């Protein structure tokens, strides 16, 4: 059973400094070092936290790659939760679970005309190898089994529900369209059934 391993207070944000708490865990199914970032709400009546499961994306989160919308989604989440409170489950599942080096190989195939799913399939991987079991374990370790989920991805909704997490509301993120990622977003909608307004 997963338990909170350590907690530290820290500041987070790109354009502003927001108070948050960073938590590590032990007892998770794999040895991946997932973390939770807790944003406290001034409104103590918010018993059902807003939660985002954000899969690590080095190219998007750190370098704001033109190929995806991950960094912008993370920035949007931090801004929203800085105002309203919430929990980011930052999951070490780079490239929808295929890893960083394989994702770079998939980028090369995308440059040759494949979409993001076709590239993963060409490399011998499924559409999405992410497993959200540990996200549910992290929520339980936080004493949370009822949430509002910030996502456009039906896979996240369905998996969390299958692990016994009650989703009171699904809140969509914005569509972060920029030069270089429109075909990526269209593939997420057509192939991954993401609820995005493009």
pLDDT of the residue at 44: 54
Residue with tokens 């009822």: 146
CB atoms within 10 A of CB 46: 14
Q: Is 195 helix (H, G, I), strand (E, B) or coil?
A: coil
Distance CA 144, CA 148 (A): 11
pLDDT by residue, tens only, the chain of 198 residues:
788 888 877 777 766 688 899 999 988 888 889 999 999 875 555 689 999 999 999 998 999 888 888 888 999 999 999 888 999 999 999 998 999 999 999 999 988 989 888 999 999 999 989 999 999 999 999 999 999 999 998 899 999 999 999 999 999 887 677 677 667 666 666 666 777 677
Domain 3-93+130-191: give its CATH superfamily.
Answer: GTP cyclohydrolase II (3.40.50.10990)
Total residue length of the chain: 198
Which of 130, 131, 148, 197 is the catalytic position? 130
Is 68 annotated in a binding site? The answer is yes
- Domain residue ranges of the chain, discontinuous segments joined by +: 3-93+130-191
The pLDDT value recorded for residue 66 is 84
- Sheet containing strand 166-171, strands side by side: 3-12, 18-26, 35-39, 86-91, 50-55, 146-150, 166-171
For residue 142, give the nearest of 9, 37, 3 by alpha carbon: 3
**40 labelled catalytic:** no
The pTM for the full model equals: 0.87
Residue 54 counted as an annotated binding residue: yes
Task: State residue 40's pLDDT score.
Answer: 86
Bridge partner residues of 34 (DSSP): none
188 beta partners: none
Check if the beta carbon of residue 145 is closer than 8 Å to that of residue 135.
Answer: no
What is the pLDDT, as a whole number, of residue 93? 94
Is position 172 annotated in a ligand binding site? no
The answer to whether 57 is a known ligand-binding residue is yes
DSSP state of 96: G
CA 33 to CA 24: how far, in whole Å?
A: 7
The verdict on whether 128 is a catalytic residue reads yes
d(CA 178, CA 99): 24
For 71, half-sphere exposure in the C-beta direction (CA atoms, 13 angstrom radius) is 14
Largest CA distance in the chain: 51
Q: Look at residue 116 in the predicted model and tell me its pLDDT.
A: 87
* 3 state DSSP class of 169: strand
182 marked among binding-site residues = no
Task: Check residue 31 and give its pLDDT.
Answer: 81
Candidates 31, 40, 128, 197; catalytic one: 128
152 CB-near residues (< 8 Å, 6+ apart) = 172, 173, 188, 194, 195, 196
């Amino acid at each position: 059973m997963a338990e909170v391993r350590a907690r530290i207070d820290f500041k987070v944000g790109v354009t502003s400094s927001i108070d948050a708490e960073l938590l590590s865990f032990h007892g998770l199914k794999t040895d991946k070092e997932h973390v939770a970032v807790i944003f406290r709400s001034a409104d103590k009546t918010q018993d059902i936290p807003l939660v985002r499961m954000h899969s690590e994306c080095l190219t998007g989160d750190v370098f704001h790659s033109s190929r995806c919308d991950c960094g912008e989604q993370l920035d949007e989440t931090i801004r929203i939760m800085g105002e309203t409170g919430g929990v980011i489950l930052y999951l070490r599942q780079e490239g929808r679970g295929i890893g960083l080096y394989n994702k770079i190989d998939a980028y090369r195939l995308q440059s040759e005309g494949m979409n993001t799913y076709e590239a993963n399939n060409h490399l011998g991987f499924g559409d999405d190898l992410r497993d959200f079991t540990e996200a549910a374990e992290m929520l339980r370790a936080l004493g949370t089994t009822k949430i509002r989920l910030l996502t456009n991805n039906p896979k996240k909704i369905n998996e969390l529900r299958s692990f016994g997490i009650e989703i009171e509301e699904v809140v969509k993120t914005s569509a972060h369209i920029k030069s270089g990622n429109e075909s990526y977003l269209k593939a997420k909608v057509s192939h991954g059934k993401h609820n995005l307004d493009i």
